[in-house]
Structure 1
Amino acid sequence: MTRRLALAPQKHDGRSLVITEALPESVVANAVDTARRDTLLAMCVGGLLVAALAWIHQRQRNRLHERIRQMNASLESQVRQGTQEVRRYAALQRAILNDASYAIVATDQTGLVTLFNPAAETLLAERADEVVGRRRLTDWLDASELERRSLLQAEDSHLPPAEAFETLVARTRDGRASQQEWTLTASDGRRIPVSIAMTGLRGDDGELQGFLAMAADISAQQKYQRELMSARDQLATAADVAELGIWIWQLADNALEWNARMFDIYQLPEALGKEGLNYRHWRDRVHPDDADEVERLLDDAVAGRGVYAPTFRIVLPDGRIRHIQAAALVERDDNHRPYRVTGINRDITIQHDIETALRESKENAEAASRAKANFLSNMSHEIRTPMNAVLGLAYLLEKHGLPAEALDLVHKIRVAGRSLQAIINDILDFSKIEAGNLEIEQASFRLADVLDNLSTIMSASVGNRDIELIIAPPPQDIDYLRGDALRLEQVLINLTSNAIKFTEHGHVKVSIQPLEASPSQVRLRFAVEDTGIGIPKTKQRELFRPFTQADASTTRRFGGTGLGLAISQRLVALMGGEIGLHSEPGQGSAFWFTLRFPREQGIRLSSPEMADLNVLIADDNPIARETLGVTASELGWKVRSVESGRLAVEKVMAMLDGDQAVDVVVLDWKMPDMDGLAAAQAIRQACRGKRMPIILMATAYSREVLQAEPAAELVTEVLNKPVTPSGLYNAVARALRPQAAPPPQIQHGNRLQGLRLLVVDDSDINREVAQRIFEDEGASVALANDGKEALDWLGLHGGEVDIVLMDVQMPVMDGYEATRAIRATPALAHLPVVALTAGAFQAQQNAAREAGMSDYIAKPFDVEIAIGQLRRLAGRQSAAPAGSGPIQAAAPADLPGLAISRGLQIWRDPEVYRQYLRKFARDYGDCASTMRLAGKVVAQALAHKLRGAAGNLALDEVSSRAADVESRLQTGNDAGPALDALRIALARAQDSISRYAPVSAAGGAEDAGQLGALLHQAVRAFNQDDPAAVEPVLAQLDALLSAAQMAPLRDAVESFDFRGGEAAAQALAETLGFSEER
């Protein structure tokens, strides 16, 4: 069986043809089977392939999807990042545009504004929405400035001038940035200098799309630049004017840079600056003697060890020397390493020469000043003498009964003279300090004695003024010290007198406070407080300058030289202390100073019999009351105080009985309600028939004023204010003396039997005292008037004397010189010589020891001490023989200024004592006036002599006042107040002498006849022009005439003025009523 097999249709000529082929059935069947198998196999394989392909396709698809997803995710991330970046850049751009401090303006290619940031709005006073797309950048530029720059660009490029905007952007078109300074005009009319940075804006293809301008306001910068230029110009001008050389030293290569002045200073050519100026060029000019030191200072500055500011010399090529003042600043890097030094040099040669000349002039002036000060210091005696003469003569004129008008004129002369004398004294004291001629003494003294002297001197200054002067007692347990008591007293006097001068009412208080105290030394603070006018703070610093006071008006009102405080300051400094003040105008002042003193062993003031006294004080001034209470307490007394006289009377009455009864009442005189005298009278009446207390009246008024009061006899003792411990103690002691047990009877006999003495003293009273005392004790006594007479006597009788008693201050030859001569004589080298002097100054004691004196006896004699010293020097240590019996007859009562009982203990013979009292009145009655007329040396010697004579005659007040005068003359202080006090004391002593030792009529006539004959003899002796003929007559006249009457005669002899002496003797004879014999 056949089968037809249709093959695939074919196209032919446009027709579809089917080609068939007839095949056998079997073939066909086999073929079919085979085809089936093949088909089935193909289907299986195809299925497998399809499945595999499907699996592969699905896998590939999945991978593709994952890749696409990943790519999408990555793309989305990149888009997000890009968006954030765009946003960040946009935000940054906005921040830059909005927050930028400079104006940012973008334009298109024609200059039309496309961006206008807030800073541009502020700068040009425009709003962005009104500017963008509407205005051009050139709208704000200055037209004239644009035109000028356009012309300049045209000149540079040789092209026609460009339009305005092109002028602005011309440099940026070719891709370059430009920065120029322009002036913009804001809408409000402000002209603003700006710096504009221009740049082109280009697209991705590089094509220019527009321009960006950034403008910064440079107004402040231009201002600073102008100021800097001005400062630079000023510095340059200053450098030129000051002729400063400016240099820079590069440490790396030693190169130097100099300005023109440096080359001129060092005389080096300016061309050297271009050729290579270096360190060696400078170093070679420095003076060889200065080079090492200057280099060392420079190296130290570079190393950071100091500042470079030397003065040195340079040597110029012609040998001239220039003096250079230099300074430099070292510049350092961040690591503090020096890399450059910048400095200046200044030629100070002219200044140096001027300073040298000035220094020499200053040294010459100082030398002249020292010479002047030395001259004044050495000539103080000659300078003071004429002034003293004027004052003395004025004083004498006042006593001559002048008419009232003339007396008033003389009194004014004295007052003016005293003021001038105070000025002279201040100037001389200051000159002495300035000349370095003032030495601070180191000697033992009692602080209480200094205060006593201060009280005595200052109470006279207070007078009857409405001022309470208060001197507090020394601190407890501080009494004996070592130092210069006189200088301490001088400072206290200066400060206290100032306080009194500038205080019209109220009080002046002197106090002492211990700041440090140990067994060996003490540091004290002295203070003088007042309630005076006070001193403004602005004037206080001027006070211690010499010749300066706080105010010119003060000087006119109160007077003074302004030297007192300057002198005080220098004295305090010399004593090792410091001085200062506190003051308020209208409230008073407090001047203080501190000093350190070594302590000395002393004794207590109060004796056992005066311990435990009950004292009542009445004073209405609380400060004075408190101070007086402290003073009494420190004496060991029990003190009660009241503020009025009435309360004092009541207190005394309440304490009449028992152990608490009042022993001493101290009353202030001037008190309200009941004054001191009324209170004294009431106390006397209340205590009548009972235990009567001692009544002391304290007053700042003079003793004479009080004693003139009718009730003055009710007062036991008068205390002068300010009251000091010793003054209070002595007053009570004197008041208790009549109540005390009678003193032991004085024994005398042969305690110096066989002792041979030579007494050398220029005072006949002192010689007589010594002779009587020692002869009464069995000694034989020879006498000499001065050191030369003593040496002459010893030359003849050297083996006939056991001890010499030598006064230290005598005319012709003093005791020191005589003692040195004795010690230089081999036969007399071991002869005991005892110094006799009324002076207690340490300097005198030291001088006595240095001269070779064996011991020291103070005048007036303490008889028992003097005899004991002589016995010790004579080697008689055993007890003295018993006395031959007491001197009988009680001594009369003491008189003012005359301690008769003590005088008789010294003189022992009342008639001889009276005789020498009369001689004292005759010789020393006008002594105060004589001292005023005399020079310092003579006055000091006279005061010393008066002190001793008065002491030996028991004229205690005169002796004390004379000691004060001597002290003040010795220290160069004003002795005027002390001389006034001495004159009063002498008058009081003469009155007492006239009462105790009156001149008899017979004696007076006998003396008068002798005096007349001797005066006539003196006239004839002077007429012979021979000192040998005059001297014996004057020696006899000494016993009959006062020292003041003898002075012209003595002066005439010493100056060999015989005609003057003859006239003086004749005038004195006529004055005394003696007619010349013919």
Structure 2
Amino acid sequence: MSTASSFSDAEWAQQLAAERARREQAEAEVAELRARLAAREQPPAAPFQALHTQVGALVHNLRLGVVLVDGTGAIQYVSPHFWRLFGLEPVAGPPFSEAQLAIGTAFADPEAFHTRAWALHTAGKTVLGEAFLLRDGRRLVLDYLVLDEAGAGRLICYRDVSRAHRREQRQRLLAAVPEQSPNPILRLAPDGELLYANPAAAPLVEALRAAPAEVLPPLLALAQAAQQAPGPRELAVAGQYYLATAAPVPGQAATTLYFSNINDRRLAEEWLGRQRVFYESVLEQVPTAVAVFDDEHRYLFLNAAIEPDPALRAWMLGKTSTEACARRQRPPAVAQQRAAAFAEVMRTGREVQWEESFPAADGTERHAMLWYRPVQGLAGTRLVISLAIDLTERKRAEQQVVQQQEFYESILNLVPFDVAVFDAEHRFRFVNPASVSDPEVRRQIIGLTNAEYFALRQAKHPEIGLQRDQYFDLAVRTRTDVTWEETRTDRRGRPQLMVRHLRPVFGPDGALRLVVGSGIDITARFVAENLQHKVQEMLREQEAFIRQIVDALPNVLYLVEPKGGISFSNRSFNERIMASTHLATELQSETVAREVADMRAFNQDVLDSGQAEIREMPLTLRTGEQLYYQVYKQPLRRANGQLGVLTISTDITEVKRARQALERREKQYHDLVHYSQALICTHDLQGTILTVNPAIEQLMGVPAAELVGRDLRELLPPEHRAIVQAYLDGDEASLPQPRVISVLTHAGERRYLNYYTYRVTEEGYPPYVVASGYDVTAGVLAQRALRQAKQEAEDNAHAKETFLARMSHEIRTPLNGVLGMATLLHKTPLSGQQTEYLNAMQLAGNHLLSLLNDVLDMAKIAAHHLQLNVVPFDLAELLRGVGQTVAALAAAQGLTLEVRTLPGGPHRVAGDAYRLHQILLNLLANAIKFTEQGRVELGAEVLAETPEALHLRFWVADTGIGIAPAEQGHIFEAFAQASADTSRRFGGTGLGLAISQQLVEQMGGTLALRSAPGQGSTFSFELHLPRAAGAVVAAGSNLAEAQPTFERLRGLRVLLAEDNYLNQWIARVVLEHWGVEVEAVSNGTDALAQLSAHDFDAAILDIRMPGLSGVEVTTALRALPDAARAGIPIIALTANAFETDREAYLAAGMNACLVKPYEEADLCQLLLDLTAD
């Protein structure tokens, strides 16, 4: 069904006529019905029943809401359409109640409806066409029909005329549109007759009447064209621009022309066109890069700042940013960043800003700040404007500022006096390390006030903070420097006098920018004055340095006006002009006059061509010296429209001189290569020799002409050719580290060269390699001989170490039996003579053991196998222990032994207490041995101390025989004594001092001797020992202790595996003495069988046994599935005394190691420790 707006005028008329006919038909039928009712005379019930039947049949098919009311007011009939019209549920009847037909609330104005309905009822007359508006917007017409003038009844009809009403309104509206339209409308016949014109077309009608020959033809042509292809066209009529559309009138030989006045639009478009040209010309000149994108990220506009090449700029129009980035060789990351920014702008509608970097065509790194800003285009299109600012120079400037700031801060951080910078609120902005050494505290106080800083540091003198605040306020208030003296205490509590200085710094606007504070320790005047002198010198150097930078700017810049005058110039120009006579016409020489004329001609050439040019031009000074400049001139239009010439000149005099110097240096380099004794050649990347110097000719015995062009590999032995080939095939042909290679001379001699190579790459030329070297044949041969000698020495040392280890094992095994038997004898009743013999035997055995230990220590020291075991210990306890060890020996010789321990204490340090005890014991034993009467002194003192360490001096002094100066030079050599007489008289091996010296040096000190014959000797050394934290272990004390008891061993079951019967018997007796149940075997195989089959609390295994060694037994035992037997404690029993052996045993799974000969207490204590759980 067509909408109302689609009907023509004829269709509207037809529909109105049909509606009118239907209404008249309904009224006629109602009138006929009323006449028939009036003609009949029947009883009341019968007429109404007949009426009901007839009316029901009549109105049932009509779209009328009919209500029949009898003369008594009772409702006798309601048509079905009535219920639908008012949205009521149908009710069976008659009769019907008024409540069932309550329709008042359906009307827009219920009160007005009821008032009018009551008026109709009371009037008792037929009324047609009463219009009412419903609440839902529909329009009803009420017909009130009186059926019987005598008051027999009423017929009330409701008709919905909403659609007809809307049609009439639309028709009236459409009819009024042309008349009220502000745009002209004309209707023309094919012959040009004007059939219709609305009021807005008055100017066109007047133009038609005034000039029909001019106006009518284009209108008729437009009407004729509309018959084929209707569409809008622009026309100019009577000086006005119109957009005209022609539409043929259906069924008529006429055409309607609709006009829209576009005169303002045309003028605006012309103005916008001119503005666009203007703005584009402006955008082409601005240094900011400007571009416009459509909603697909395609270029609609871009200025020359983005792409100076016009051809490429034209190509970019219509291309996407990604396509343009690829064409302009921008990195993919740049294109991706721009695409992401564009997507975000289109998604959020907000501006996006970012920085990007990319390599320029000249190879430099460029930086730019970009903005994407969304805008609304014509016709609602979405556009994005891109702005870009080149940040390259700013980045460089920022980097220079950062470097300058770091430079100044580095100076301030290095100056030896306090420097602090405060803001206007007296908050710290900078503090150098001289003020606060702790970097963490320096970071914390930045941003704090002076009071907050003193609270943070918990300063001892809060009044100093108040005093500094007062001086700060004074400096700011008086706008002058303030200096005062301040007394405080340093970290050690000593008084310290400081000179404080505050300097306020104000900006150009007079506002306080910052306050610079400094402080100098003037406790020692000389140091303060020296420091002040250094600071002043540094400031003078810095000022001179900055001055040199400013004065060294080479560019001369000035602007020449059209008449030749100079309107602008910089300092370099002024200095050069003052040093010449170019502006003093009367003083100009012929050379200067020619230079001035050439410069003016240059200016005119630039003005005539309108293009920038560069030339090299001379400048003659008053002194006659001639300088050369690279002069760049460019036309520059001033704001007043005048065209001047901007000149930027760079002094290239030094470049010319450098070029000449380069030529001289090139000759010098040539001479250097030619006359150098170094071997220098060049070759290409295929190994072909390009040049050689005479030194190579002399070495190879071949003229240079025969070497050039040959393959480098031909001169090398076969074993080197593969290396050279790999070197040539590699990506890097430079060897910054020297290498040795051999070559074969013409005579067949092999020479060794120490050589370097460097790859040279020059644009436009193939790369090549420069090789230089020296003949190191003599050094190579000598190095080979040295390596052979070193290998022989290492073999000898290894053989000696192996011999000592074997001898130690072979001596310790029987020695263990000797000393063990002596220990057991001591437990038996002995006579006095037997006891004396036994003591002599023990003394001899212990002396042999000491000698063996000394020899092994010397072997460890020589092989660098002796390691220090650092543990915490007490110095006083160690000194007393050493003295106690030799106290009996000194007393036996009638000597006074004095031990000077450190005052105060305790003095706990960390070090190798055992080796320090050994050193002091060796020195003390020597002193007692070589002193027949008098005294022997052992002491230590603290030379310096810090919270972390002590600097100590140890000494042993005696009143003995002394040492002659001639003998002191070799007194510390192994197996050396002062003289043969001394050796015969006092005995000894001469190892004690040698071992002591080596141990002292390994601890970081030096063993010194001060002695003279007959005046005794003093041995001393200094050590730096760190302070110890935590528990302190025993430091070799030999103080008398209670006889140890090992009753807790009683009941233990121990397996003893020892192949030496005597040593097995001694160990068994010792352990059984303390109640240990011992199961003894003589080989490793039996030991593993016993341990695998029986339970033991511990095992003692000799290392070297028949069958399986102690290590092999341990390895097999630890692999047993029975965790209890696999985890039994194992003590290694060995005659190998080297630390490496002990570490190997522990690594194999043994729990402890006992070296033969051992003390009974050591064995029992180990068992107690390992079985304590």
Q: Larger % of strand: which? A: 2
* TM-score of the superposed pair, with normalisation by structure 2: 0.28
Structure number with higher relative contact order (C-alpha < 8 Å, ≥ 6 residues apart): 1
Q: Larger % of helix: which? A: 1
